[in-house]
Structure 1
Amino acid sequence: MPEGDSIWRAAARLHSALAGHELTRCDLRVPRFATSDLTGRTTLEVVPRGKHLLARFEGGLTLHTHLGMDGSWRIFPAHGTWHGGPEHEIRAVLGTTRHTAVGYRLPVVELLRTADESRAVGHLGPDLLGPDWDAERAAANLLATPGRPLGEALLDQRNLAGIGNIFKSELCYLAQVTPWTPVGDLPDPATTTVRLAAAAHRLLRANTGDRGTRNTTGIHRRGQELFVYGRARRPCLRCGTPVREAPQDERPTYWCPRCQSGPTP
């Protein structure tokens, strides 16, 4: 599933292609909004909110989409050939005289009043890459359920919005605890959760560029961009111990059994 940094980049690409231009084509291929037409409206902006995308149009309307596990928005020249999946996987098309934005495999396509956006994203915690970012509030949200495993708490978008499975594993590694460690069992939980939230913000912000490869280690050699995620049975970059993998909430989770203390499956 795309994480907050990927959604931020997708929003930036859509904004660059559509903002300030009148729509000459609108095709929402979901039953509820199949007859809705935004043609003739100008796109005001496209902004990310956690893992959600909000395209705002004149007249007070917003197109809310979510990429889910494998959705994507692709940008093409107005009269260019589309590629990104078969025709039946297309869920939304927004076109101008210059560009066409095509949404593939989008599990959420919803047209709503801009004034009602809170119905779609109001439940989210502080956005790691948004103007509302607040590390102390995010930390307080994490601490509200002290018995919850840290990995699960970090993935809960109601606590802080933007972390996915990759950053979850990497943040737990940086905190030197396993993802199954209860939040309340962290060393000095109040201080540690604030530091974790700040580290999450720093890592996502650092990965908003278009380098193509996500990096949390600061090492730019191939295969060493991440500390533990995707490195099962490979040596830990810090101590050389083989990294382990196990599911947490049905998602592959990685940790170093030497560098990270705490419970494991």
Structure 2
Amino acid sequence: MPEGDTVFRTCARLHEALAGRVLVAAELRWPGLSTSNLVGHTTIEVVPRGKHILQRLDSGWTLHSHLKMEGQWRISRTDKDPTALAARGRVDQRRRERLDRGGRGSDDIRALLVTQEWTATGLRLGMLDLVRTSQEDTIVGHLGPDILSPDFDQQQAIANLSGPVGAALLDQRNLAGIGTMWASESLFLQGIFPWAEAAALDPATLNGVVARARRLMTANLPHAVQTSTGIRREGGNTYVHARSGRPCRRCGTTIRVAQIGPPTRERAMFYCPTCQGGLAPGDDGRPLRPLGSR
């Protein structure tokens, strides 16, 4: 699932393409939304809230989307026949065929938003909702402080943390935006055992790991390839994330991966047992094959 900094960049691209522009055609291919008519609506802004995308319209509606595991928004130039599009408010067959030829099959498309200049295509989206802007809290009100917000309330986020610290960082109700990559990398860099109880850690330690995550994510906002090591080459950009079975860059111990979190909401946590204080609960220490090897 994309991290908050990836969603932030997605929102920035959507905002640049759509803000201040009128929708001349639109399709929402989602149960309950397929008859919604957004033609003639103007996008005011596209903003992130943690890992959620909020496209606010001048009509008082917000189009909410979430990428989940496989979703993405793509921006392309609009075919130069906007008159036909505007007349029907739908995407014509020629455009459907061109999208299919570009590897974006119609089965993958969940939303098409067309302006005179740009088209935003939502592919394999995990969530899509249309709500009154005044009622956005029904969709995102459960989220904790947004780690990338200028007014991020770090003390409130830290106060929200409970249970194993790795799982607590991933719980979007505590603080919004951190995913498995930045949780794993931040805990490693701070030398914290992911399964340590948050309540057993002193406030300075919790402050350190949350501040580290925020610094890393903020530093990566301008870049498509995320890095905690300073290297943007594939295979060199992380210390532990996606490196199970490979040697720790610090001590040479084999990096391990284990599930963390409550049942039905488990997530992968990568860690170094030497640098971070031991094996995960239930990890028998057996040799691991490097991730991606055969």
Q: Which amino acid aligns with 1:177?
A: I
Aligned-pair CA distance for 1:175: 2.2
- CA drift of 1:185 comes to 2.5
Gaps of 5+ in 2: 80-94, 282-294
Q: What amino acid does structure 2 have at the position aligned with 1:205?
A: T
Preserved contact between residue 138 and residue 194 of structure 1 (Cα < 8 Å): no
Please report how far the alpha carbon of residue 221 of structure 1 lies from its aligned counterpart in structure 2 after TM superposition: 5.2
CA RMSD in angstroms comes to 1.5
Distance in 1 of aligned mates of 2:77 and 2:116: 9
Residues 12-161 of structure 1 correspond to what in structure 2 (within 5 A)?
12-79=12-79, 81-82=98-99, 83=102, 85-142=104-161, 145=162, 148-161=163-176
Q: Tell me the CA shift for residue 262 of structure 1.
A: 4.9
Give the residue type in structure 2 aligned to 1:180: W
Which segment drifts farther, 30-39 or 43-52? 30-39
Matching of residue 224 in structure 1 with residue 236 in structure 2:
yes
> Match of 1:235?
247
* Contact 2:226–2:232 (Cα < 8 Å) also in 1: no
Equivalent position SS for 2:149? coil
User: 1: distance between equivalents of 2:154 and 2:124?
Assistant: 33
In 2, Cα distance between the equivalents of 1:41 and 1:258? 56
Query: Cα deviations across residues 93-124 of structure 1 (Å, max 9, x unaligned)?
Result: 11101111010111211001111111111111
Structure 1 match to 2:193: 178
Q: Distance in 2 between matches of 1:131 and 1:64?
A: 21
Residue 209 (structure 1) aligned with residue 211 (structure 2):
no
Letter in 1 for 2:32: R
- Quick check: 2:24–2:116 contact (8 Å CA) kept in 1? yes
| Uncovered stretches (5+) of structure 1, i.e. residues with no partner | none
Asked if structure 2 preserves the Cα contact closer than 8 Å seen for 1:24 and 1:97, the reply is: yes
Whole-Å Cα distance in 1 between the matches of residues 198 and 24 of structure 2?
50
Mapped contact 2:273–2:279 kept (Cα < 8 A): no
Q: Distance in 1 between matches of 2:103 and 2:73?
A: 9
**Amino acid of the residue matched to residue 113 of structure 1?**
R
Which secondary structure state, in structure 2, belongs to the residue aligned with residue 31 of structure 1? coil
Q: Quote the Cα distance in structure 2 between the aligned partners of 1:37 and 1:65.
A: 17
Residue 220 of structure 1: how far off its partner (Å): 4.5
1:255 paired to 2:274: no
> 1:225 is paired with a residue of what secondary structure?
coil
Look at both structures and tell me which one has the larger radius of gyration over its CA atoms.
2
Displacement of 1:33: 1.2
Structure 1 residue identity aligned to 2:252: G
Contact conserved, 1:11 with 1:47, CA < 8 A, in 2?
yes
Q: Identity of paired residues, percent?
A: 49
**How many Å apart are 1:157 and its aligned residue?**
0.5
* 1:177/1:262 contact within 8 Å kept: no
The 2-side partners of 1:134 and 1:194 are apart by 12
Amino acid at match of 1:30: W
Q: Distance in 2 between matches of 1:84 and 1:229?
A: 29
TM-score (norm 1): 0.93
Deviations 1:16-74 (Å, cap 9, x if unpaired)? 11001000011111121111111111110000000000001102110010001111111
Distance 1:58 1:168, change over 3 A: same
**Counterpart in 1 of 2:88?**
none
CA distance in 1, matches of 2:103, 2:66: 17
Alpha carbons 2:158, 2:206 under 8 Å: kept: yes
- Cα pair 1:84 1:104 within 8 Å, conserved: no
**Are 1:71 and 1:104, in contact at CA under 8 Å, matched by a contact in 2?**
yes
What amino acid maps onto 2:168 in structure 1?
A
